[in-house]
Amino acid sequence: MQRTLIWDLPTRLFHWTLAASFAAAWLTAESDPWLAVHVFLGYLMLGLVGFRILWGFVGSHFSRFSSFWFGPREAIAYLKQVARGQAERHVGHNPTGSLAIYLLLLLTLVVGITGIVTLGGEEQQGLAAGWFSFAQIKLLKKLHEAAATGMLLLVMGHIAGVVVESVLHRENLARSMLTGTKLAKPDTPRTGAHRQVAVALLVAMLGFAGWWFYYAIDQQLDMHVWQHSPQTGVVEKPHVKFVGKALPDNKLWRDECGSCHAVFHPVLLPARSWQKTMAEQGQHFGTDLGLDSATTQTVLKFMVDNAADGHTTEAATKIDLSLAKDATPLRITETPYWVKKHREVSAADWAKPQVKSKANCAACHSDADAGTFEDGAMQIPKS
């Protein structure tokens, strides 16, 4: 037995980068401010799987699929041997481990593709923007989440298998995937380091990261606007955020509604709510709007044409779906979706000098004036 290079550098780089990407993607899955990072990791994982499939045909001996082409029966049989403590040592992938690899590659593809489609439906961003409506995307989002959960369970099983086999055969398999070497017989097929391929893969990943965060995102986001906090005197750069598609606007509506308070885009309430608001404009929260007939008709038409019923944004869809058919709320803060979405906002956050009121949407939503209310464009002031 002699120490032999088994895992080439590209395979090791793929392995650890995919593991780190999945862990980071899992941690950022429910964090709106980290949406851009989560999406980047999804695209990166898809690219890594594409490379691994290619490398499975043209890579070094132990990285090729032909070296660990075992069927389910062999995988189950090997698992039984492990349970009995009689499993044969494999220099490359064992039958059960090989099945886990194929399943991980498949699940990564499913997670990545459904993630792209979900992003296109929920956020109207990315390659699949506009393919599905907000309501239609629900099933695919559940599939995305289920596949991600399945992948997590498989990863945990894979780690458990590595630990068990390391103990069984008295070798550190995790370290072998770091160094690339294992003890093997002299006649074991030689593996080349393939440093040039690894460098090319690393450069491609870094190049994609640079393009994503400094060009692709910058085309959609205002990343160069620095905000000054008068309370702390600190100048802060806003977090990366997705900006939704431009919604219809109307100068008369904006002038009339904006003369007394922040304008609330019509997508935030159903048409029946705006109709009731204008019908009762003489008692508009203790104020008489005093709009003439022509102005009333113009403003009302704009609001009805662009109300939540049209499901033109994620917020509009979820607000409308949360309402009972006979419910006609006049306050956005009374809609079930708004209440649910803000239930974790603490009293201390509401009391911050930058916020003060639940009607001050712009304090946390940088796209409030535009009416899009994208998840990634929300950030509660720090102080």
Per-residue pLDDT 10s for the chain (383 aa) are 899 999 999 999 999 999 999 999 999 998 777 888 899 999 999 999 999 999 999 999 999 999 999 988 998 998 899 888 888 899 999 999 999 999 999 999 999 999 999 988 887 778 887 788 777 788 899 999 999 999 999 999 999 999 999 998 899 999 999 999 999 998 898 889 999 999 999 999 999 999 888 776 654 444 333 343 444 444 344 444 566 678 999 999 999 998 888 889 999 999 999 999 999 998 888 888 889 999 999 999 999 999 999 888 888 989 999 999 999 999 999 999 999 999 989 999 999 988 988 989 988 888 888 898 887 677 888 76
Decide: 197 and 9 in contact? Cβ < 8 Å.
yes
Structural domain for 305, as ranges: 238-377
d(CA 15, CA 36): 23
Q: For the chain, what percentages of helix, strand and coil (3-state, to nearest 5) are there?
A: 60, 5, 35
Between the two ends of the chain, the Cα-to-Cα distance in Å is 63
Q: Check whether residue 189 and residue 251 sit in a common domain.
A: no
Decide: 5 and 193 in contact? Cβ < 8 Å.
yes
Phi, psi of 90 (to 5 degrees): -115, 130
User: Is position 129 within any domain?
Assistant: yes
User: Packing angle between helix 9-27 and helix 35-58, nearest 10 degrees?
Assistant: 150
User: Is position 127 within any domain?
Assistant: yes
Which residue has 């003369």 as its token pair?
Answer: 259
- Its sign, for the CA torsion 103, 109, 112, 116, is negative
Q: Check whether residue 157 and residue 10 sit in a common domain.
A: yes
Say which CATH number the domain at 20 has: 1.20.950.20
User: Is position 200 within any domain?
Assistant: yes
Four-point Cα dihedral 62, 66, 72, 75, nearest 10: -30
The count of structural domains within the chain is 2
User: Is position 271 within any domain?
Assistant: yes
Give the single-character DSSP code of 380.
Answer: -
Q: Check whether residue 216 and residue 288 sit in a common domain.
A: no
Q: Check whether residue 194 and residue 284 sit in a common domain.
A: no
SS3 call for 91: coil
User: Is position 233 within any domain?
Assistant: no
Q: Check whether residue 60 and residue 127 sit in a common domain.
A: yes
Which residue has 């100048």 as its token pair?
Answer: 235
d(CA 11, CA 321): 47
User: Is position 37 within any domain?
Assistant: yes
User: Is position 297 within any domain?
Assistant: yes
Q: Check whether residue 195 and residue 278 sit in a common domain.
A: no
Q: Check whether residue 195 and residue 319 sit in a common domain.
A: no
Q: Check whether residue 208 and residue 313 sit in a common domain.
A: no
Q: Check whether residue 207 and residue 151 sit in a common domain.
A: yes
Domain boundary among 188, 220, 252: 220
Q: Check whether residue 292 and residue 190 sit in a common domain.
A: no
The CB-based long-range contact list for 157-160 (8 Å cut-off, 24+ gap) reads: 157/100, 158/97, 158/100, 158/104
- Paired tokens of 138: 């629900």
Domain boundary among 194, 220, 246: 220
User: Is position 382 within any domain?
Assistant: no
